Amino acid sequence: MTIELHTWNTPNGRKISVALEEMGLPYKVIPVNISKGEQMAPEFLKLSPNNKIPAILDPEGPDGKPVSIFESGAILLYLGEKTGKFLPKSLSGRIPVYEWLMWQMGGFGPMPGQVHHFIALENEQDRAYGLKRYMAETRRLYGVLDRRLEARDFVAGELSVADFAILGWAWRHPRHKVDLADFPNVKRWYEALMARPAVKRGMEAKLD
């Protein structure tokens, strides 16, 4: 049965379209235009109490009953559990997936997101402090990721939902003024992922 993906064309939305394509799950996009405040609509609030995209509605959830999930990290873990793909079965295998998924959600998302916010401000005085602070932290996080990928192809060893989560934000590296040439291991990882047919479909899916 077809999963409803309620989303918009953002890094967090791309995480899920990529995962759905990689997992081979049928889905349809229901755009939620955040520039028009559609995420505040009561209908969407029923799916996402935090008024944030993305959210999914799976008509065939646990025990065959419909279920809705909000928060991109929770959605990725759910889809991994549902399909048995990109989420190791052993606890020891899951630990690095959990670590790097939480790393993305707690840092490599909120910090570049602040860059996106401050870089769009017209007043130079308003922009200066925020950009200096959040660009430095964003670059630090790229460095963390680069070191992690020095001896492995993917962040948790095998390709996992953690990679999809991080890719959603690495996709926007031009917008937060990061040249991947400065982080060669990230560049290699990024190019390898973007060359995957399912990732390409997920990135090109119309979300708006």
- 11 and 98 in a single domain? The answer is no
Reply yes or no on whether the pLDDT at 137 is more than 90: yes
- 100 and 71 in a single domain? The answer is no
Q: What's residue 34's pLDDT?
A: 96
- 12 and 76 in a single domain? The answer is yes
- 26 and 69 in a single domain? The answer is yes
- 76 and 104 in a single domain? The answer is no
Containing structural domain, residue 175: 91-196
- 81 and 100 in a single domain? The answer is no
Reply yes or no on whether the pLDDT at 172 is more than 90: yes
Average pLDDT over residues 94-122: 93
Encode pLDDT of 182-192 as tens digits. Answer: 999 999 999 99
- Please report, for the domain that includes residue 58, its CATH number: 3.40.30.10
- 95 and 78 in a single domain? The answer is no
- 104 and 174 in a single domain? The answer is yes
* Ordered DSSP codes for the chain: -PEEEEE-SSHHHHHHHHHHHHHT--EEEEE--GGGTGGGSHHHHHH-TT--S-EEEETT-GGG--EEEESHHHHHHHHHHHH--SS-SSHHHHHHHHHHHHHHHHTTTHHHHHHHHHHT-S-HHHHHHHHHHHHHHHHHHHHHHHHHGGG-SBTTBS--HHHHHHHHHHTTTTTTT--GGGSHHHHHHHHHHHTSHHHHHHHHS---
Average pLDDT over residues 195-201: 98
Average pLDDT over residues 52-66: 97
Q: What's residue 120's pLDDT?
A: 86
- 7 and 45 in a single domain? The answer is yes
Give the chain's mean pLDDT: 96
Number of domains in the chain: 2
Encode pLDDT of 14-49 as tens digits. Answer: 999 999 999 999 999 999 999 999 999 999 999 999
- 109 and 166 in a single domain? The answer is yes
Average pLDDT over residues 112-128: 87
Q: What's residue 127's pLDDT?
A: 85
- Please report, for the domain that includes residue 127, its CATH number: 1.20.1050.10
Reply yes or no on whether the pLDDT at 3 is more than 90: yes
- 170 and 191 in a single domain? The answer is yes
- 50 and 126 in a single domain? The answer is no
Q: What's residue 57's pLDDT?
A: 98
